[in-house]
Every structure is written in structure tokens, then in C-alpha cells.
Amino acid sequence: MKTEVVDLSQILNKDTPAYPGDTCFSSCPHLTFSEHGVRVQKISIGTHTGTHIDVPSHFIDEGKTVEQVSLSWLVGPAVVIDLTQTGRDKDLQKRETIGLDDLKPYESRIKRYIDSGETPIVLLRTGWSKYWATEDYIPHPFVAPHAAQWLVDVGVRVLGIDTFSPDETVVDSSDFVTAVHKIVLGAGAVIVENLTNLAAIQEGEWVVSVVPLKLEGADGSPIRACAWRKE
């Protein structure tokens, strides 16, 4: 039977938004059919462009780099925490805080996987991916530090979200908001950002892959996140 695979990644093109101050994506011909008889593109991309993974060395001086993170963490059962109107009383609003009360209802499911020896990939479905490549993508909801601390205390090692960041994104300030990154990455866990299509894996049992490129010494990497039904 053919496996259904769901794409959870944003496309990389000239319109791909970059986190304020980060590298934008670009692509241009390197070799062409007309001149060389073959096509090769040259791309420029930051480690945190598009759908990507943050590893501990992003914020932790002696933290693990991309190639040091165990692949066994990066393929695992999905726990999609629905923060849209279908999962709570109302949709999240601009710059609304995601608190512990939003996460607690999923505690038993997270712990069930951990107790069975699996590494669940916890995905926060805010619904904000619908604003991708628009100005409204910037004032996204974000995770409260105490809620992030609870996740790592429970044993979560992979936290994903369909926004620029689990922290607040602030444009008109020289200071980045980094509390959640420091909590999660400081615990040795990883963060996946700019996911999309999480509604497609809300129901049922799914396995998610968030495997990065094997970039030596890197603090993050673009990924092609995807999911398939768990047997």
C-alpha cells in the first residue's frame, strides 16, 4: 500500500521571508543547458531560512552542532497541540502568549510516548502559517518561558511551531527575545520553525521527520519536514 506523505515545509523562493536580520534565500543559474548542456543552480541560504531546525549551538556556546544531534530524535511520533479555534475557545491573536494551560491537556499523550521509549516531536499548531510571506506573519503568537520550561521538564526534546519563532519576534528593537530558545536549547533539545500544514496531521497517529543537512559545526539547517501515518 502506498504511504501518504504530508509536506510540512514552506517553499524556498524569491518571496521566502527571512527573520529580521537573517539571510534571505536566493538562487541563480550556475550551469545552463544552452552553454554547458546541463543545469546546475547556485543557491544562497542561511542556516535559519525557511523551514529549519535550531540546535543548541545556536544560543549555547558549547552546545551541540547540527551533525552532533542524534537522528533518532529527529524522526518520531507527532504530538500536534492545536491552538486554533478547533482546539480551544478561540483562535490565537497577534502576539498572544501560549501558556501552560494551552499545553497541559496534551501531557498524558506526550508522556505516553516518552514512557514507551519514543521521542515525541511536539508541534504547536497556531494557524499562523496562513500569513506566510505577509506582514502579519511577524506579530505571531509566542510561547511563555514557563511553558517552555514545562515542556523540557516533561522530557520533550523536539519542539516545532508554525511561526518565525517560539519567542516573540520584535522588529523595532536591537534586542532579540530569546528566553524560550535559551530554555529549550539550553536543555539540549532542538527547535523547528516555520512549519506549515499541521492541520493535515492533527488527527490520528503520525510520524514526523525534521532531519537537517549534515553541516559540520552549524547552528541550524534548512529541512524538508514531512509526516506519514504511523503503522
144-157 pLDDT per residue, tens: 999 999 999 999 99
The answer to whether 35 and 180 are in contact (CB under 8 A) is no
| pLDDT at res. 231 | 80
Fold type of domain 5-12+47-229: Glucose Oxidase; domain 1 (3.50.30)
SS3 151: helix
Tens digits of residue pLDDT in 58-84:
999 999 999 999 999 999 999 999 999
Cα dist. 31→13, 27, 37, 45 in Å? 19, 12, 8, 19
Q: What is the pTM of this model?
A: 0.96
SS3 110: helix
* Ranges in the chain, pLDDT < 50: none
Instruction: Choose, from 52, 58, 140, 181, the residue flagged as catalytic.
Output: 58
Q: Note if 58 is an active site residue.
A: yes
Based on C-alpha coordinates, what's the Rg of the chain? 18
| Pairing state between β 226-229 and 206-209 | antiparallel
CA-nearest of 172, 155, 186, 153 to 55 is 186
Map out the domains of the chain as residue ranges: 5-12+47-229
